[in-house]
Amino acid sequence: MTKRSFCVAIDGPAAAGKGTISKAVAAHFGFAHLDTGLLYRAVGAGVLAGGDAVTVAKTLDPAQFDQDSLRTPEVAQAASRVAVDPDVRSALLQFQRDFAEKAGCAVLDGRDIGTVVAPAADAKLFITASADVRAQRRFLELSGKGMDVTLEGVLADVKARDARDRSREAAPLVAAKDAVLIDTSELSIEQAIGQAIAAIEKIKGA
Ligand code: CDP
């Protein structure tokens, strides 16, 4: 008997709320969750520490990730720089697919989940919000952790990464044709989570 699987792909630009929404969706449905951005951040951090991007990508051990040190603006920029390299992307692709296959039911969030990593995903969401709103939220998150950031700096980071992520040749950031679009600019986090769960319920029930 084949295992019943349900895969949810959640993509969108920097700081759109994918992480929070993905965690809540995974908890609601009892699915595993993989934040694929952390993989790219870990490669970026490895390069900042003097490593070779492809070698780091091939030898990643997510069990060793120190999430706090990966969630800095410097590491985010380094992540988006290594993410243009097709060899880095293909080294990380198998890891992501293996995770989804092993989990059976999984939520993956990133930039290219619905288009490249899991194009056959049962449900695809594309989460977005205006650059100003995204920068404001990320600024509050990072300054709340005691990081020395400015709103202008965070906005510049978000815009620079969006531009690089959208314009790269390998797996650019773009909504899959069959993705449900959710703009969270005017939504509270509870409303955004509610819309995401409702969209998935609708697809599951269809
Ligand atoms: O949390 P945030 O939206 O700020 O970023 P992230 O999801 O942690 O991703 C960091 C960077 O990794 C992005 O700016 C992308 O360049 C890259 N990334 C990617 O190329 N493909 C993915 N599936 C996930 C992340």
- Mutate which of 80, 85, 115, 158 to test ligand 1's pocket (most atoms within 8 Å of Cβ)? 80
Angstrom distance (rounded) from CA 184 to CA 57: 32
Number of domains observed in the structure of the chain: 1
Q: Flag whether 74 is in a domain.
A: yes
Q: What is the dihedral of CA 22, 27, 29, 31, to 10 degrees?
A: 70
Q: Flag whether 162 is in a domain.
A: yes
Question: Can you give the pLDDT at residue 28?
Answer: 96
Range of the domain at 96: 6-205
Residue 186 burial (C-beta neighbours within 10 Å; 0-12, 13-18, 19+): exposed
Q: Which two tokens mark 89? A: 């992307």
Count of CA atoms in the C-beta half-sphere (13 A) of 65: 24
Q: Flag whether 1 is in a domain.
A: no
Report the separation in Å between the CA atom of 2 and the middle of ligand 1, taken as the mean of its atom positions: 32
Contacts of 82 (CB under 8 A, 6+ apart): 40, 43, 44, 47, 53, 57, 88
Count of CA atoms in the C-beta half-sphere (13 A) of 171: 24
Q: Which two tokens mark 12? A: 């969108």
Angstrom distance (rounded) from CA 206 to CA 202: 6
Under DSSP, the state recorded for 49 is: T
Q: What is the pTM (predicted TM-score) of this model?
A: 0.95
The per-residue pLDDT for range 148-206, each reduced to its tens digit, is: 999 999 999 999 999 999 999 999 999 999 999 999 999 999 999 999 999 999 998 87
Name 123's bridge partners: 8
Residue 169 belongs to a domain with what CATH number? 3.40.50.300
Q: Where are the alpha helices (DSSP H) in 14-150?
A: 18-29, 36-48, 53-58, 67-70, 73-82, 86-103, 131-144
Residues of the chain predicted below pLDDT 50: 1-4
Report the separation in Å between the CA atom of 199 and the middle of ligand 1, taken as the mean of its atom positions: 23
Contacts of 87 (CB under 8 A, 6+ apart): 53, 54, 57
Q: Whose CA is nearest to atom 8 of ligand 1?
A: 37
Question: Can you give the pLDDT at residue 6?
Answer: 79
Q: What percentage of the chain has pLDDT greater than the value 90?
A: 88
Q: Flag whether 18 is in a domain.
A: yes
Q: Is 76 in the pocket of ligand 1 (CB under 6 A)?
A: yes
Q: What is the dihedral of CA 116, 40, 10, 93, to 10 degrees?
A: 30
Report the separation in Å between the CA atom of 206 and the middle of ligand 1, taken as the mean of its atom positions: 31
Q: Flag whether 47 is in a domain.
A: yes
Question: Can you give the pLDDT at residue 67?
Answer: 87
